[in-house]
Every structure is written in structure tokens, then in C-alpha cells.
Amino acid sequence: MTKPARAAALLLLVALPFFVTSCDSSGASSRARDGSLRIVATIGMIGDVASRIAKQDAHVDAMMGPGVDPHLYKATEGDIRRLTEADLILYNGLNLEGKMGDILVKVGRSRPVVAVSESVPENLLREPPEFAGHYDPHIWFDVSLWAMTIDPIVRELSSLDPDRAAEYRRNGEALKKELLDLDAWVASEIASIPKERRVLVTAHDAFGYFGERYGIEVKGLQGISTVAEAGLADVERLVETVVSRKVPAIFVESSVPRRAIEAVQKACESRGHSVKIGGELFSDAMGAADSPEGTYPGMVRHNVRTIVEALR
């Protein structure tokens, strides 16, 4: 970390107690002017689920928008203000928001801060060898696991707003059914790809849960986190896989620079194998708010259609 970056991080941590205490002397947050709950989610996938459960009864604010990589994200002073004004803060956990850990702990002393991944049994979490000691945080790529994050959100909303608890439960159950139907659709679509062509090559290893759940082999250029850049050996390893397996398409991601995957493409061509960029996948962030990909189900459908069209 550079000296300016260390100074900025220190300033945020020093300023945080001031924001926490000045927001409300009792430690309670202030509701929006219309009386609805203020919810802050770290990533868009959580924000979308919370919005569908709370509906008009809450203002949901997702901190990290389209194209933002949560592995590298650093909270700004404005983010801290939003967090300290929230009634409820929802984050993924499993070290996805690694650079925000201290801030979430401090804010959690005065208001509910909930990791939605707490609802997923540990035996269902991936612990890849290269990530030893830590679980893979990208649980939203297994739609059946992401459906499990609904319950803690319903629980917290019901605790904060008991008068609407029954409504939150109904909305949660309806969403759970929608996601389980989506899970079945994804499985059916991926199964339509010829088995020998079910190899998903992406910019970083975010799709591990997707591969395990839906029966497709996943090869990422970078590891689970994008903090460390891919090296020459990583590129050569991936090129060997693509060339030897005659993989027809590889994919860029919306939140990861595309130059590394383009380097893989060029290296494959130099070895006599023409491989196309099959399209852009949404991995750690959803699409624009006004697009179909700006919702969790829409993001999933876009990814699956893009993969199937390129590989089938």
C-alpha cells in the first residue's frame, strides 16, 4: 500500500467514530423521511434480494455498482456516512469485502450488520486448495445457495419492522420459489452444451460454485481474489488448456480488466488455435440498474445465455 493510500485509510478509521456517534447520540439510525427503513448492501446482488423482500417499505442502497470489484473496493467518506445512517447493513462475508472489514465491525457496534452468507451451511461452501483456510465467497453463482440468503434478510427486516413481518415472509417465500425455478432453468441450459465443450474459461476463478452446481469445468486466469494479478505462468497454463482441449470460446468479466483474457486469446492464436471472446459475463457486479442485468435473476440469465450460445 502506498503512503497516500495508508494515510487515506487511517483518516477513514479515525473519522469513523465521529460519524457513528454524531449520526445519533443513542446509537439508533434515523428513518427515511417517509418512515421507511434505510438498508445499505455492499454488493448489488444482495441489494436486489433485499429490495424484492422489502419492496416499497425500504430504501435499499447498494454501495458497489456496475463494474466495481469488491475484492479491491475501499470505502469512501461518503460510504461511511451512508453506513452510519442505515437501519440495516447487509454484506456478503467470507472475506469478499476484505478491505472493509474493520469499518463493518465498528459500524456494527451501533446498528445491525449482517453477513448473508451466515445462512449457508459450511459443508456447502467451497475451500479451494489455493485459497486454503478461507471459503470461496462467490456463493451467488449457485442459485440454490443464494436462495438461502433470503432467510436472514427476512429475519432482520421483521425484527426492525414487526408490523410488516408477515409481508416480508410472504415476499421472501415468493422470491425463494422464483430462485429455485431459476436454478432448475440454469441446470437445463448448461446440460444442453455438449459434454466435451463444457469448459468455462474466465478472467478470475469466480465461477467455482457455478461449475460444481451445474456440471461445467471452470478455469480462471486469476485466483478467487483479483488482488494479485495473473503472471506469465498463469497465462501459459490457461493457454495450454484452451489449445489442448480445443475450447471454442473464452470470456471476459465486467468487473475485471479484459486485457489479460485478450492476451490468452492472442497466445492461443500464436499456437494455431483460434478462440473467440464469447462475451462479457457479470461476476462480482451486476449490470446497470435500468437493464435486465441490473437484477440478480437477469444477471444469471444473461450469463447462462452468453455461455451457452458461445459453447454449444
Residues 6 or more apart in contact with residue 268 via CB below 8 angstroms? 239, 242, 243, 274, 275
Q: Same structural domain for residues 51 and 96?
A: yes
In whole angstroms, what is the distance from residue 302 CA to residue 293 CA?
7
Same domain, 251 and 293: yes
Q: Report how far residue 239's alpha carbon sits from residue 309's, in angstroms, rounded to the nearest whole number.
A: 22
What are the pLDDT tens digits along the chain (312 aa)?
Answer: 444 444 444 334 434 443 444 344 334 445 555 678 999 999 999 999 999 999 998 999 999 988 788 888 888 899 999 999 999 999 999 999 988 988 999 999 999 999 999 999 999 999 987 777 889 999 999 999 999 999 999 999 999 999 999 999 999 999 999 999 999 999 999 999 999 999 999 987 889 999 999 999 999 887 544 444 556 888 888 999 999 999 999 999 987 888 889 999 999 999 999 999 999 999 999 999 999 999 999 999 999 999 999 999
In terms of domains, do 85 and 166 share one? yes
Assess whether 172 and 219 both reside in one domain.
Answer: no
Is 156 in the same domain as 255?
Answer: no
Residues 78 and 167 in one domain: yes
**Are 154 and 172 found together in one domain?**
yes
69 shares its domain with 129: yes
CA-CA-CA-CA torsion sign (299, 300, 304, 305): negative
What is the count of structural domains for the chain? 2
End-of-domain residue from the set 132, 153, 182: 182
Q: Look at residues 63, 54, 61 and name the one whose alpha carbon lies nearest to residue 36.
A: 54
Instruction: Let me know whether 177 and 65 are in one domain.
Output: yes
pLDDT in tens, 136-169: 999 999 999 999 999 999 999 999 999 999 999 9
CATH number for the domain spanning 192: value is 3.40.50.1980
Kindly state whether residues 173 and 197 are assigned to the same domain. Answer: no
pTM: 0.85
Instruction: Encode pLDDT of 31-77 as tens digits.
Output: 555 678 999 999 999 999 999 999 998 999 999 988 788 888 888 89
Could you tell me if 152 and 209 lie in one domain? no
Strands 113-115 and 88-91: parallel
String of DSSP letters for 73-140? ----HHHHHHHHT-SEEEE--TTTTGGGHHHHHHHTTTS-EEEGGGGS-GGGS---GGGTTS----GG
Q: Identify the domain containing residue 218 by its residue range.
A: 187-311
Judgement on whether residues 78 and 114 belong to the same structural domain of the protein: yes
